A and B are shown apart, each in its own frame.
Chain A
Amino acid sequence: MGSARSESSGRARPPAPAFTAYKILIAGGFGSGKTTLVGAISEVRPLRTEEALTTASVGLDDVTGVAGKTTTTVALDFGRITIGSEVVLYLFGLPGQERFSFLWNELAYGALGAVILADVRRLDECFPSVNYFESRGLPFVVAINCFDSAPRYDPEEVRLALDLDPDVPAVLCDARDVESVKQVLITLVETVAARRSATTGSRR
């Protein structure tokens, strides 16, 4: 970014090709490894945003003495992966959905797809994400984070437990490992492509 200052502001610059950014959402319960996953494949940076206070956050957010305060600051992690000069992928770690539904809607708008990180010890924490992405028709994959201390399950068992549709992949992953995270993202983009050709095919 230091090079920006060297340009004189009045001079016309040759037009650079416009790049398009694509969003991929990383969901999952607290401690499921979202930040670890984003950090494994990109440089993670915090982003501050605001969220309207909902009744769900009453009692959680201390608003004593700030009557009329209707928003709260939320920090979320994001990382970028440069694919080429014209395509950049942005990964956004989603905060808890019960409290930050407005932010979820904003992030999900125009998203390419989502990864739900699952911890087999707390699978129930995936249900809100599964329901949300299903209801929005957003393609997603379930990535079962293989914590050292967690029991190993067959992905098929997880798929049954979460009652996933047949076209939703459930895969094992290690959120710390770049190759493993790459494979999860590849599976997601393949799912997006498969769903896309399935819908265009059925219209014919």
Chain B
Amino acid sequence: MPPSGRWRPRDSGPVVRPYAVTGGRTEPADGEVLDLIAVVVATGRAVTQDDHPPLSPEHRRILGLCQHQITVADLAADTTLPVGVVRVLLADLITQGLITVVRHRPPPAQRTHNDVLQEILNGLRAL
């Protein structure tokens, strides 16, 4: 039971075991665990018959969502796949040169430029 003691539909879990779509793999092929807010984008390379491993429907869904820059968290929410699964599938696509990482992670707070903080403040005030 979740701490709330109340089940929500999303707590009941998926019908298919999540790691079935990765062939049981739980670690990204390139060994890199992408941050939740790492930004990725499709490289624009066309998918060919020679791509190995062949792309699964989930690979293609992720690739489709990556036509514009997108974060790992958004990919997981858009596909409703667990973050760990998205990381494994993304690593496949990165290894095949179909997707590239634009930003691995944001700079830590103490190295975030004052201009950026000011931009965030202005943006929040304008909401």
A residues with a Cβ closer than 8 A to B are 1, 3-5, 7, 9-13, 16, 18-23, 30, 41, 45-50, 60, 73, 75, 78, 80-81, 83-84, 87-90, 92, 95-96, 106-107, 109-113, 138-139, 178, 182, 185-186, 189-190, 192-193, 195-197, 199
- With A4-B68, A49-B83 known as contacts, the answer to whether A23 contacts B37 (CB < 8 A) is yes
- Known interface pairs A18-B103, A20-B39, A73-B82; 19 further A-B residue pairs with C-beta atoms within 8 A, sorted by A's residue number: A3-B67, A10-B45, A10-B46, A11-B44, A12-B44, A16-B41, A18-B69, A21-B71, A22-B106, A22-B112, A46-B77, A60-B1, A87-B120, A109-B105, A110-B35, A110-B37, A182-B124, A186-B124, A189-B124
Asked whether B120 lies within 8 Å of A80 as measured between CB atoms, the reply is: no
Asked whether B105 lies within 8 Å of A48 as measured between CB atoms, the reply is: no
Q: Which secondary structure dominates chain B's binding surface?
A: mixed
- The answer to whether the Cβ of B30 comes within 8 Å of any Cβ in the partner chain is no
Q: Sort A-B residue pairs by CB-CB distance and give the 10 closest, nearest first.
A: A83-B123, A21-B37, A4-B67, A10-B46, A49-B83, A45-B77, A48-B82, A193-B117, A110-B105, A18-B102
Asked whether B117 lies within 8 Å of A81 as measured between CB atoms, the reply is: no
How many Cβ-Cβ contacts under 8 Å join chain A to chain B?
A: 153
Classify chain B's interface size. 35 or more
- With A9-B44, A110-B105 known as contacts, the answer to whether A89 contacts B69 (CB < 8 A) is no
- With A96-B3, A110-B106, A112-B109 known as contacts, the answer to whether A1 contacts B119 (CB < 8 A) is no
- With A30-B4, A107-B36 known as contacts, the answer to whether A189 contacts B120 (CB < 8 A) is yes
Q: Which secondary structure dominates chain A's binding surface?
A: mixed
**Shortest beta-carbon distance from A5 to chain B in Å:** 6
- The answer to whether the Cβ of B76 comes within 8 Å of any Cβ in the partner chain is yes
Closest to B122 in A: A83
Asked whether B42 lies within 8 Å of A9 as measured between CB atoms, the reply is: yes
**In-complex Cβ contact of A89 among B3, B41, B120 (8 A):** B120
Asked whether A78 lies within 8 Å of B77 as measured between CB atoms, the reply is: yes
- With A16-B68, A185-B124, A192-B112 known as contacts, the answer to whether A9 contacts B103 (CB < 8 A) is no
**In-complex Cβ contact of A13 among B44, B84, B102, B108 (8 A):** B44
- The answer to whether the Cβ of B125 comes within 8 Å of any Cβ in the partner chain is yes
B residues with a Cβ closer than 8 A to A are 1, 3-4, 8, 10-11, 13, 18, 35-37, 39, 41-42, 44-47, 63-65, 67-69, 71, 73-74, 76-78, 80-84, 102-103, 105-110, 112, 114, 116-121, 123-125, 127
- Residues in B neighbouring A46, C-beta threshold 8 A: 10, 77
Q: Can you list 26 contacts pairing A with B, beta carbon distance less than 8 Å?
A: A1-B65, A1-B78, A3-B67, A4-B65, A12-B44, A16-B68, A20-B103, A21-B103, A22-B120, A23-B37, A47-B77, A49-B82, A50-B84, A75-B10, A83-B120, A84-B119, A87-B123, A89-B120, A89-B123, A92-B36, A95-B3, A110-B105, A178-B127, A182-B125, A182-B127, A195-B109
